[in-house]
Chain A
């Protein structure tokens, strides 16, 4: 009986923790951006502005829930839920500690890649269903961008799979007992992180919602909590990419003295802050630069990394 209840408890716990984390992240991002840009950020509601998140949530929930009459209604309503759903599903195979993991699939890594690629549907369909020119352009841009960067995101992970000899994320973490993969797979790490930035549609790759040209991109027509769901999806995406970077390249829960969960949290937190720092410092790319960078620089680099890793593994044995 216990074996049935345990994954359920873990599952609900993980999902609730994630949603709380995504909300907290909005606050963290605004505070950190404030710090790095020499201003305050939210500091009025509650201690350190912490209750700002709660206030924002209440505001979003009670805002006018706008379903435009010119939109494709069912798709318009479902699209924001899809992105929250796919990101939450991805976390099913992330090993937080040796014991806290919803399920350890032997195809874990493929599962994450599959789920994160389903996220494309959300933004593409949301943009299309809005029946608004800005939204349509944003949706198209998002689709083309996420597809392009997915190719070498998968390629960059090939080296990790080769070294660990498994797709199971737990096996990948355990294979890093001696040496974290960020050392032998440093090019893979860089390529993966850049692809992660693009997949999460963050600056410098946030062209789908470039506010200077497309108003708000694919969610121009969204309001209230439907807009909020795109937001939550984006922040959960940041957590997902950070957690994946930790698991695949930085030894997941491995670390001395402190308990595994603390190590996992600290490492993930570091990458989340890196995401925010990048947002605070980089300008936005142009769309042709973005695609050219992906196909002409990152894809050959990822292939090169694959060949070199193969050669090194071969030479070592």
Chain B
């Protein structure tokens, strides 16, 4: 665990830098609020409705695809580090794994989940 001490330290320093900038900008800045400034910016028009509205479900689809493919990626990482020991077994294993991945990708593709129309 000793090797992670510098990580803890850089964590503290990076947090401090982030916090310091926020505090500094709060202290140094001027405040001059007017009623117009208190409205959300919409190119000079009065905002119509709230921004908390429905948005396209495709963003969620992308999120789900990401989870699926990223988890498969996590399985591949340890495999890559010991590839020089696994050799032919590792190669065939990987081929099967990538094939499964590809089938998934083709399925998603054909279902139209990658289309933005």
Contacts and interface: CB of A to CB of B under 8 A. Distances in A.
Interface of A: 7-8, 10-12, 15, 19, 60-66, 68-70, 77, 80-82, 84-85, 88-89, 92, 102-105, 110, 130-137, 140, 143-144, 147-148, 150-151, 154-155, 158, 161-162, 165-167, 215, 220-221, 224-226, 228-229, 287-288, 291-292, 295-296, 299-300, 303, 306-307, 310-311, 313-314, 317
B107 interface: no
Contact of A148 (B30, B50, B66): B66
Contacts of A19: 17
Contacts of B30: 62-64
B66 A89 contact: no
12 contacts: A70-B40, A102-B6, A130-B51, A133-B47, A134-B42, A143-B63, A220-B41, A225-B24, A225-B25, A303-B98, A306-B76, A307-B98
A131 B80 contact: no
In terms of DSSP, what is the predominant structure of the interface of chain B? helix
B14 A311 contact: no
Given A61-B24, A143-B59, A165 B13 contact: no
A154 B62 CA distance: 17
B37 to A, nearest CB: 7
A167 B59 CA distance: 32
Contact of A154 (B9, B52, B73): B73
B6 A65 contact: no
A307 B62 contact: no
Interface of B: 3-7, 9-11, 13-15, 17-19, 21-22, 24-26, 28-32, 37-43, 47, 50-53, 55, 58-59, 62-63, 65-66, 69-70, 73, 76-77, 80-84, 87-88, 90-91, 94-95, 98, 101-102, 105, 109, 114-117
B70 A154 contact: yes
B28 to A, nearest CB: 5
Contacts of B6: 7-8, 10-11, 92, 102-103
Contacts of A229: 18, 21-22
In terms of DSSP, what is the predominant structure of the interface of chain A? helix
B116 A313 contact: no
A224 B51 contact: no
Nearest to B26: A65
A77 B95 CA distance: 47
B94 A307 contact: yes
B5 A7 contact: yes
Nearest to A7: B6
Given A65-B29, A70-B40, A135 B18 contact: no
Contacts of B53: 133
B102 A303 contact: yes
A183 B9 CA distance: 37
B105 A299 contact: yes
A165 B22 contact: no
A105 B8 CA distance: 13
A131 B52 contact: yes
A215 B28 CA distance: 27
